Amino acid sequence: MTPAASHAIAGTTNDLAEEIQPQYNLRFERVAAGPGRGFCLVDVLLRNNGLIPANFPFFCLTVLGLNAAPAPGWAQQEITIVRKMQRYTPVTSSTLDPGALAQCCTIKLRYKSAFGGSLEFEPGSEHLLTDFPNLNLTCVVGAGNFPSRRTLLQVPATAFRMLLKNKDASQPAADI
């Protein structure tokens, strides 16, 4: 994670003790196909706030139609508990040391600069930046030796606006 990367912790200060906690890193990826287009990428990270290593950490995200892909070394599997979820787990046996961060997945939101800018949560669901809501993700986090718990990972709309306002024009282009 670069020093300029933005990230936030879900929950309150009291929630942070002895638990696996989701965080995010927000970045922008230009598209070579056209100016004013690209992707806002939300890297979902897990942090071990406990005092002991977390064996086989996991992250579950409610299926909402978001374009999410596992991070390198992580696998994605659809599960059904009460509702459909995508579960992200390390491919091999893994330990998350106390205080350590691990990226488990990346969510891609398509960006278009037309009409003041818009982000697409899922195909056909675009939001203008002026009306863009916070991205609220209900998730379940835990590890083999930590209790699993339901929590909210929130990426504030202001973080997206700030990222898009300050995106680096010299960033390398990527194909769709």
Q: Where are the domains of the chain?
A: 13-165
Alpha-carbon dihedral 1, 50, 11, 155, rounded to 10 degrees: 20
Q: Determine the distance from the C-alpha atom of residue 61 to the mean position of all C-alpha atoms in its chain, rounded to a whole number.
A: 10
Mean pLDDT, residues 45-56: 92
Q: What per-residue confidence (pLDDT) applies to 13? A: 42
Answer whether residue 36 shows pLDDT above 60: yes
CA gap 6, 1 in Å, rounded = 9
Q: What per-residue confidence (pLDDT) applies to 140? A: 92
Q: What per-residue confidence (pLDDT) applies to 66? A: 84
User: Predicted confidence band at 56 (pLDDT cuts at 50, 70, 90)?
Assistant: very high
CA gap 20, 15 in Å, rounded = 10
pTM for this entry:
0.79
By C-alpha distance, which of 127, 110, 106, 103 is closest to 42? 106
CA gap 58, 37 in Å, rounded = 32
Answer whether residue 72 shows pLDDT above 70: yes
Mean pLDDT, residues 102-110: 93
Contact 39, 102 (CB under 8 A): no
Low-confidence winner among 5-19, 39-53, 82-96, 124-138 (lowest mean pLDDT) = 5-19
Q: What per-residue confidence (pLDDT) applies to 1? A: 40
Which residues have a Cβ under 8 Å from the Cβ of 38 and sit 6 or more positions away?
28, 29, 30, 31, 111, 167
pLDDT tens sequence across 149-176:
999 999 998 898 888 887 744 444 443 3
Percent of the chain with pLDDT over 70: 82
- Most confident among 37-41, 43-47, 135-139 (mean pLDDT): 43-47
Highest CATH level, class, for 13-165: mainly beta
Q: What per-residue confidence (pLDDT) applies to 115? A: 74
Q: What per-residue confidence (pLDDT) applies to 18? A: 61
CA gap 40, 57 in Å, rounded = 25
Q: What per-residue confidence (pLDDT) applies to 155? A: 92
Measure the CA angle with vertex 70, ends 66 and 71; round to 5°.
125
